């Protein structure tokens, strides 16, 4: 039920120049204070948290192509203020309901050009941060225009510690850096050669979501919300002032954004708290997105899924029919391996469907089922896949039927290889075929340089494509998981068939590169996942690749039980059960956690958190009283204490703890674990030893 309490004390003021130089606005509790300022016709804002300045005078506005007089000097022509409290219920999510409570300030600015232009800046001030966006109302002197640059800046108060990846218009698949702001440029000089399509920006550039911690212990996260019909934002630091300015991904001819009034930009978001846990728990980015536009969401179902996927990443089977395309080809390891063959055969797919059915998983991803993989990698070729023609050894119709008979959906894979023009031509046909066969979910992929040639993954054209695909899929009642799209900005509130995205360095890097350092998964929730769920693909039991390919050095940089914990700490309504069925069958006791763990939740508590160090999260499974806890560490061993006070008072719970064995560590003995059972209440505090690169998982069921 949606309860909406809107107090409106809006007052309109048609007034003249410099009515107010400074308009303060506080959050509902008063913790967060924003001030909008207009000095000498230039708009700026400042921000403070609990009385401490966190953003100094930061610029606002635009430079517009071929309009030199645009926004040179503004006059404040209107002010609106209101308070809003509109809790809502997500289709799926981390909590049953979401509070959406803020104070709003909308300023209207009119410039002094010969034919004046009007912009509005819409600020929403929450107790966990601030979002603001620009609006271009319908007006006489501004209709079609091209944005040269957005002038928004985030003027930080010092050389803070930041968790970041380098600015890049094509990829988010970097490992995270932790450094001072002034160290960004030096650190980005060494690039990751395993990222195939990268367009790094030279200089002190970082991507968002950017995680920040000040010397005073104030945490901040800068990102954007509701990225629609606009390019994605990177940030450029001035290392003398610590001021970060907006850089928009350009298009093929160097323009940033094509606008037509009435129009608006995405929200610029600053989440702030002196408690790291509150950054992860923030729902501000979701709140800044529009309510769901999907009227009948009954086809949208969170799920765990298995798939023909890891085989190719390990290099033990291939995407293509002829048996040459696997992810490990680059290192030549697939060729060294003895039994390399096509993965997506009818027989192999049946095996996965059966395994899913036996264990209660509702999806089976199949990659390499369709023709085109011979040509897919690195060719920048337009017509590669048709997304409907199976290889001769894959019975697409029969397998979909077989899956449906067991209440399972095949997750149809649409790798575009970056040829988006081609995918756009095929989307309707492909989705219609999925409807005809009963496949209700698709995984898309955007590996490679984009076609239309010259466009970037993060430009306005591609931002529009990703959303077009999500909307079209929703017309066909299809759920979407996207790999290599632009980073998410909370659009899954509006389009809840957009289940998850990759858009960061996923588990796959552990199989064919130096991989993801043990701290990686403690950073993701503070960065990439601030914008939306990630399809990380957890659950690896065979940690070292040498098990399959003698001599291989690659490995997952965690222990086995940390892989279990990731199902809870890395939020997503779709979670892959990633390892090969035989590896789970060999460890049924640990596999039990993956079978039990939920993917949709009524409640979430972030128990312990520090970016780059550790994280512990407890979640209550939807419609039940069962709790699941995940706790992870970085490269350090540590003890972590779980305070069970979130459990119902006076009730007893049977818990199972899946933890690192005493001599376990990610590098030396990663698969050693121990399982213990005990009874706890809301008064229990449980201290668990965590290995280097380790973690633990707990399931808690009310005692019968
Ligand atoms: C990269 C994706 O992240 C991965 O999941 C997929 O298997 C390959 N591309 C092939 O599409
Ligand atoms: Ca990827």
Q: Tell me the DSSP string of 392-418.
A: TT--HHHHHHHHHHTT-EEEEEEE-TT
Distance 307 CA to ligand 2 centre (A): 16
Q: What are the tens digits of pLDDT across the range 117-160? A: 999 999 999 999 999 999 999 999 999 999 999 999 999 999 99
Q: What are the tens digits of pLDDT across the range 214-256? A: 999 999 999 999 999 999 999 999 999 999 999 999 999 999 9
- Is there a catalytic annotation at residue 424? no
Higher pLDDT, 635 or 15: 635
Cα–Cα distance measured from residue 545 to residue 696, given in angstroms and rounded to the nearest whole number: 22
* The pLDDT of residue 106 is above 70: yes
686 within domain boundaries? no
144 within domain boundaries? no
**C-beta 415 within 6 A of ligand 1:** yes
**C-beta 173 within 6 A of ligand 1:** no
**C-beta 511 within 6 A of ligand 1:** no
Q: Which ligand is nearest to the CA of 370?
A: 1
Of 320, 322, 481, nearest in space to 385 by CA? 320
Sign (positive/negative) of CA torsion 95, 99, 100, 102? Answer: negative
Name which residue sits closest to atom 3 of ligand 1, judged by CA.
483
Cα–Cα distance measured from residue 178 to residue 610, given in angstroms and rounded to the nearest whole number: 13
pLDDT on residue 339: 61
144, 148, 150, 156 alpha-carbon torsion, rounded to 10° = 180
Q: Which ligand is nearest to the CA of 367?
A: 1
Q: Which ligand is nearest to the CA of 384?
A: 1
Q: What are the tens digits of pLDDT across the range 403-454? A: 999 999 999 999 999 999 999 999 999 999 999 999 999 999 999 999 999 9
173 within domain boundaries? no
Distance 502 CA to ligand 1 centre (A): 9
The ligand 1 atom nearest the CA atom of 312: 7
* The pLDDT of residue 96 is above 60: yes
636: confidence class by pLDDT, cuts 50, 70, 90: very high
Q: CB-based contacts of 320: which residues, under 8 Å, 6+ apart?
A: 342, 368, 373, 374, 376
pLDDT on residue 394: 98
Give the residues across from 177 on adjacent strands: 164
Q: CB-based contacts of 37: which residues, under 8 Å, 6+ apart?
A: 21, 22, 23, 43, 44, 45, 46, 57
Q: What are the tens digits of pLDDT across the range 258-301? A: 999 999 999 999 999 999 999 999 999 999 999 999 999 999 99
Pocket test for ligand 1, best of 419, 483, 509 (most atoms within 8 A of CB): 483
DSSP 8-class letter at 704: -
- 194 to 228, 283, 335: CA distances (angstroms): 30, 33, 19
368 within domain boundaries? yes
* Cis amide linkage into residue 209, ω under 30° from 0: yes
Helices (H), 203-283: 276-281
Distance 219 CA to ligand 2 centre (A): 29
Number of Cβ within a 10 Å radius of residue 95 = 17
DSSP 8-class letter at 337: S
Of 564, 565, 562, 544, nearest in space to 553 by CA? 544
Cα–Cα distance measured from residue 526 to residue 88, given in angstroms and rounded to the nearest whole number: 24
Distance 274 CA to ligand 2 centre (A): 33
Cα–Cα distance measured from residue 470 to residue 497, given in angstroms and rounded to the nearest whole number: 7
The ligand 1 atom nearest the CA atom of 313: 7
DSSP 591-624: HHHHHH--SSEEEEEEEEEETTTEEEEEEEETTS
**C-beta 367 within 6 A of ligand 1:** yes
**C-beta 443 within 6 A of ligand 1:** no
Cα–Cα distance measured from residue 661 to residue 69, given in angstroms and rounded to the nearest whole number: 68
**C-beta 311 within 6 A of ligand 1:** no
* The pLDDT of residue 21 is above 50: yes
**C-beta 512 within 6 A of ligand 1:** no
* The pLDDT of residue 15 is above 50: no
Average confidence score pLDDT of the chain: 95
Name which residue sits closest to atom 7 of ligand 1, judged by CA.
309
pLDDT on residue 191: 75
Range of the domain at 375: 302-439
**C-beta 309 within 6 A of ligand 1:** yes
Distance 483 CA to ligand 1 centre (A): 7
Higher pLDDT, 361 or 194: 361
Name which residue sits closest to atom 2 of ligand 1, judged by CA.
483
497 within domain boundaries? no
- For residue 604, the number of C-alpha atoms closer than 13 Å in the C-beta half-sphere is 26
Q: Which ligand is nearest to the CA of 444?
A: 1
Distance 506 CA to ligand 1 centre (A): 10
Pocket test for ligand 1, best of 172, 415, 511, 516 (most atoms within 8 A of CB): 415
Percent of residues, the chain, with pLDDT higher than 90: 92
The ligand 1 atom nearest the CA atom of 319: 10
Q: Which uninterrupted H or E stretch holds 5? A: strand 5-8
Distance 409 CA to ligand 2 centre (A): 22
Of 528, 529, 536, nearest in space to 558 by CA? 536
Catalytic residue among 333, 508, 521, 554: 508
Q: What are the tens digits of pLDDT across the range 520-561? A: 999 999 999 999 999 999 999 999 999 999 999 999 999 999
pLDDT on residue 428: 98
- pTM of the predicted structure, to 2 decimals: 0.96
Higher pLDDT, 3 or 615: 615
Number of structural domains in the chain:
1
Helix (H, G, I), strand (E, B) or coil at 79: strand
270 within domain boundaries? no
Q: Is the Cβ–Cβ distance between 385 and 416 less than 8 Å?
A: yes
Q: Which ligand is nearest to the CA of 173?
A: 2
**C-beta 445 within 6 A of ligand 1:** yes
Give the residues across from 131 on adjacent strands: 124, 269
Q: What is the CATH number of the domain that holds 421?
A: 3.20.20.70
222 within domain boundaries? no
**C-beta 634 within 6 A of ligand 1:** no
**C-beta 447 within 6 A of ligand 1:** yes
Pocket test for ligand 1, best of 312, 365, 445 (most atoms within 8 A of CB): 445
- For residue 576, the number of C-alpha atoms closer than 13 Å in the C-beta half-sphere is 28
Q: Which uninterrupted H or E stretch holds 509? A: helix 509-512
pLDDT on residue 9: 29
12: confidence class by pLDDT, cuts 50, 70, 90: very low
Name which residue sits closest to atom 6 of ligand 1, judged by CA.
445
452 within domain boundaries? no
331: confidence class by pLDDT, cuts 50, 70, 90: very low
**C-beta 671 within 6 A of ligand 1:** no
């Amino acid at each position: 039920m949606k309860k909406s309490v809107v107090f409106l004390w809006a007052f309109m003021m048609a007034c003249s120049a410099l009515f107010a130089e400074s308009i303060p606005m506080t959050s509902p509790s008063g913790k967060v204070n924003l001030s909008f300022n207009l000095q000498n016709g230039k708009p700026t804002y400042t921000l403070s948290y609990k009385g401490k300045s966190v953003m100094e005078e930061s610029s606002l506005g635009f430079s517009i192509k071929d309009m030199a007089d645009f926004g040179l000097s503004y006059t404040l022509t209107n002010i609106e203020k209101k308070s809003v409290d509109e809790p809502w219920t997500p289709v799926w999510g981390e909590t049953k309901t979401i509070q959406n409570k803020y104070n709003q300030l909308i300023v209207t600015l009119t410039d002094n050009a010969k034919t004046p232009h009007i912009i509005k800046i819409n600020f929403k001030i929450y107790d966990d941060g601030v979002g603001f966006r620009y609006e271009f109302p319908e007006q006489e002197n501004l209709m079609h225009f091209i944005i040269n640059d957005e002038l928004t800046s985030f003027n930080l108060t010092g050389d803070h510690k930041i968790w970041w990846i380098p600015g890049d218009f094509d990829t988010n698949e970097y490992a995270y850096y932790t450094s001072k702001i002034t160290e960004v440029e030096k650190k980005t000089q060494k690039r990751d050669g395993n990222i195939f399509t990268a367009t790094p920006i030279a200089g002190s550039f970082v991507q968002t979501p950017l995680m920040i911690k000040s010397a005073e212990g104030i945490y901040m996260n800068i990102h954007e919300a509701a990225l629609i019909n606009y390019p994605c934002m990177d940030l450029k630091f001035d290392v003398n002032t610590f001021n970060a300015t907006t850089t928009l991904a350009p298009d093929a001819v160097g323009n940033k954004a094509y606008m037509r009034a009435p129009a608006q930009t995405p929200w610029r978001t600053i989440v702030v708290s002196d408690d790291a846990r509150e950054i992860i728990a923030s729902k501000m980015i979701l709140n800044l997105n529009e309510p769901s536009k999907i009227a009948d969401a009954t086809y949208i179902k969170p799920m765990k899924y298995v798939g023909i996927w890891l085989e190719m990443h390990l290099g033990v089977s291939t995407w293509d029919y002829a048996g040459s395309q696997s992810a490990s080809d680059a290192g030549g390891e697939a060729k060294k391996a003895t039994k390399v063959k096509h993965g997506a055969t009818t027989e192999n797919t049946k095996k996965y469907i059966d395994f899913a059915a036996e264990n209660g998983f509702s999806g089976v991803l199949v990659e390499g089922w369709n023709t085109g993989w011979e040509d897919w990698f690195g060719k920048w070729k337009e017509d590669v896949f048709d997304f409907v023609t199976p290889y001769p050894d894959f019975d697409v119709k029969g397998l979909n039927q077989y899956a449906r008979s067991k209440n399972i959906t095949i997750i149809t894979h649409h790798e575009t290889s970056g040829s988006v023009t081609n995918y756009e031509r095929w989307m309707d046909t492909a989705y219609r075929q999925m409807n005809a066969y009963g496949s209700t979910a698709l995984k898309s992929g955007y590996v490679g340089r984009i076609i239309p040639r010259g466009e970037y993954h993060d430009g306005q054209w591609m931002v529009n494509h990703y959303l077009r695909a999500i909307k079209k899929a929703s017309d066909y009642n299809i759920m979407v998981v996207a790999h290599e799209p632009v980073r998410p900005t909370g659009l899954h509130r509006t389009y809840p068939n957009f289940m998850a995205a990759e858009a960061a360095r996923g588990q796959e890097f552990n199989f064919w590169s130096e991989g993801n350092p043990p701290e990686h998964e403690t950073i993701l929730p503070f960065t990439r996942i601030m914008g939306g769920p990630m399809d990380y693909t957890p659950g690896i039991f065979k940690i070292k690749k040498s098990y399959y390919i003698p001599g291989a050095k690659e490995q997952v940089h965690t222990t086995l039980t940390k892989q279990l914990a990731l199902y809870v700490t890395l939020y997503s309504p779709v979670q892959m059960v990633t390892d090969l069925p035989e590896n789970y069958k060999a460890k049924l006791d640990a596999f039990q956690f993956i079978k039990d763990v939920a993917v949709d939740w009524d409640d979430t508590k972030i128990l312990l958190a520090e970016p780059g160090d550790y994280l512990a999260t407890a979640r209550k499974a939807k419609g039940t009283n069962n709790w699941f806890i995940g706790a992870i560490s970085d490269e350090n061993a540590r003890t972590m204490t779980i305070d069970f006070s979130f459990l119902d008072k006076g009730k007893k719970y049977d818990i199972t703890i899946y933890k690192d064995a005493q001599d376990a560590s990610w590098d030396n003995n990663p698969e050693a674990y121990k399982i213990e059972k005990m009874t706890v209440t809301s008064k229990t505090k449980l201290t668990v030893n965590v290995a280097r690169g380790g973690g633990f998982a707990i399931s808690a069921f009310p005692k019968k």
